[in-house]
């Protein structure tokens, strides 16, 4: 997993320190006994000297000189690349304790629980499995943000919010939502199963489209009301449209249905005259790879867009091995995306899986030159 290996002997430490690059890297120190030491650093040579040089007298600083016989490392070009590689190395080295070591917390998601005969939506940090019918939306920056979005969204529909298993019974008293006409009340057979399934379908369409499905539905109703000169009804529908737009407008671009969350990350590279590209799909992260800005002379001219397309096609995103692996890699992506100051840029694929190639090429140039991503234009109605 780590690309380079150095043998460490205390009597030849100067040679080892000289061979280690003075650059950012993820590294592992291993000895004949005990656990390995895994970390990342902005300067590998300096960090090794601190850990493996002869210990100072009466110093309490950690020193592993007498315990290490092998050094493994890989250079990294950005903090995100280092964090991803560190996660994968620590996960392999400490399979039972890696989450605690990395302080890894899964991202808040909205789950539409379609495996239940009477589906409902709720906020969770856990993906139950990869084979069920349930859909997941996110990642959100915080649980509070996810709950606010979901509560405001469900106010526009009449799907249930109760968390117990339903056994529809006409004698059941219902709850406050059914009394306020905010739920179709399948609990006491206030609707047919088909009617409830149709309402759940409207909720799914809302989540799939980031609120646009309901806006379009209400706009059509408003146009019909205006044509029929029902101006009070049209005004009420217009108010509902504005409310729906206000709920959906603050959604970050990354919040999508997980199986449709795909795109490319552009990061600085440890290689000269290159950037690092990393594909992601469904929350799963692919392997970072260097993309040289200058094409090799092969007797044919290629545009930058065609080179990017060809390069990405050669680095497919692997399928998730487990729901846990998917949650953890999604957590790494969420941690980087919501930073107040992040290095690199992200580009999302559209509903057809097509990438914005022109924007991606401009982003590659900005990342290589160390420029910041321009702020998005303000949203307009």
Q: How much is the pLDDT for 319?
A: 79
Closest CA to 16 of 47, 36, 45: 45
Tell whether 128 is covered by a domain.
Answer: yes
Please count the other Cβ atoms lying within 10 Å of the Cβ belonging to residue 46: 13
Question: Based on the domain organization, do 40 and 132 belong to the same domain?
Answer: no
Tell whether 172 is covered by a domain.
Answer: yes
CA distance 53 to 75: 21
Looking up residue 37, the CATH number of its domain turns out to be: 3.40.1440
CA distance 311 to 165: 49
Please count the other Cβ atoms lying within 10 Å of the Cβ belonging to residue 197: 14
Tell whether 87 is covered by a domain.
Answer: no
Tell whether 80 is covered by a domain.
Answer: no
Tell whether 178 is covered by a domain.
Answer: yes
Question: Based on the domain organization, do 360 and 273 belong to the same domain?
Answer: yes
Closest CA to 141 of 346, 338, 342: 338
Question: Based on the domain organization, do 69 and 111 belong to the same domain?
Answer: no
Q: What is the pLDDT along the chain (381 residues), one digit of tens a residue?
A: 899 999 999 999 999 999 999 999 999 999 999 999 999 999 999 999 999 999 988 888 999 999 999 999 999 999 999 999 999 999 999 999 999 999 999 999 999 999 999 999 999 999 998 889 999 999 999 999 999 999 999 999 999 999 888 989 988 888 888 888 899 999 999 999 999 999 999 999 999 999 999 999 999 999 999 999 999 999 999 999 999 999 999 999 999 999 999 999 999 999 999 999 999 998 899 999 999 998 765 656 788 999 999 999 999 888 777 999 999 999 999 999 999 889 999 999 998 889 999 999 999 999 999 877 666 654 443
Question: Based on the domain organization, do 318 and 270 belong to the same domain?
Answer: yes
Tell whether 100 is covered by a domain.
Answer: no
Question: Based on the domain organization, do 54 and 111 belong to the same domain?
Answer: no
Question: Based on the domain organization, do 356 and 271 belong to the same domain?
Answer: yes
Mark which of 140, 162, 190 sits at the end of a domain: 190
Question: Based on the domain organization, do 70 and 113 belong to the same domain?
Answer: no
Structurally, the chain folds into a number of domains equal to 3
Q: How much is the pLDDT for 320?
A: 74
Mark which of 33, 57, 75 sits at the end of a domain: 75
Question: Based on the domain organization, do 170 and 266 belong to the same domain?
Answer: no
Closest CA to 123 of 145, 99, 104, 103: 145
Domain that holds residue 25: 4-75
CA distance 144 to 150: 10
Tell whether 328 is covered by a domain.
Answer: yes
Structure tokens at 302: 């290629």
Question: Based on the domain organization, do 111 and 184 belong to the same domain?
Answer: yes
Tell whether 198 is covered by a domain.
Answer: no
Mark which of 75, 96, 130 sits at the end of a domain: 75
């Amino acid at each position: 997993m780590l690309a380079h290996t150095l043998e460490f002997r205390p009597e030849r430490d100067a040679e080892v320190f000289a061979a280690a690059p003075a650059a950012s890297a993820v590294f592992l120190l291993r000895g004949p006994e005990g656990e390995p030491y895994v970390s990342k650093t902005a300067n590998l040579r300096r960090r090794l000297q601190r850990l493996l040089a002869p210990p100072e007298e009466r110093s309490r600083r950690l020193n592993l000189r007498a315990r290490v016989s092998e050094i493994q490392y890989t250079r990294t070009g950005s903090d995100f690349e280092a964090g991803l590689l560190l996660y994968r190395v620590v996960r392999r080295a400490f399979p039972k304790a890696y989450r605690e070591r990395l302080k890894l917390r899964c991202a808040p998601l909205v789950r539409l629980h379609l495996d239940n005969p009477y589906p409902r939506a709720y906020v969770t940090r856990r993906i139950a499995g990869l084979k069920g019918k349930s859909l997941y939306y996110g990642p959100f920056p915080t649980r509070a943000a996810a709950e606010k979005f979901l509560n405001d969204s469900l106010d526009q529909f009449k799907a249930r919010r109760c968390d117990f298993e339903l056994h529809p019974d006409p004698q059941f008293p219902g709850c406050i939502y059914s009394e306020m006409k905010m739920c179709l009340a399948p609990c006491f057979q206030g609707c047919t199963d088909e009617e409830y399934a149709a309402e759940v379908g409207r909720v799914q369409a809302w989540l799939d489209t980031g609120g646009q499905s309901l806006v379009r539905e209400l706009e059509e109703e408003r146009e019909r009301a205006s044509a029929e000169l029902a101006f009070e009804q049209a005004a009420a529908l217009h108010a509902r449209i504005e409310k729906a737009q206000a709920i959906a407008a603050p959604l970050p671009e990354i919040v999508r249905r997980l199986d449709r969350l795909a795109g490319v990350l552009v990061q600085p590279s440890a290689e000269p005259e290159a950037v690092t590209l990393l594909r992601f799909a469904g929350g799963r992260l692919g392997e970072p790879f260097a993309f040289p800005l200058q094409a090799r002379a092969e007797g044919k001219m290629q545009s930058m867009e065609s080179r990017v397309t060809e390069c990405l096609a050669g680095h497919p995103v692997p399928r998730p091995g487990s729901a846990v692996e998917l949650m953890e890699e999604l957590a790494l992506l969420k941690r980087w995306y919501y930073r107040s100051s992040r290095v690199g840029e992200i580009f999302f694929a559209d509903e057809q899986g097509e990438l914005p190639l022109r924007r991606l090429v401009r982003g590659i140039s900005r990342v290589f030159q160390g420029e910041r991503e321009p702020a998005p234009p303000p949203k307009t109605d």
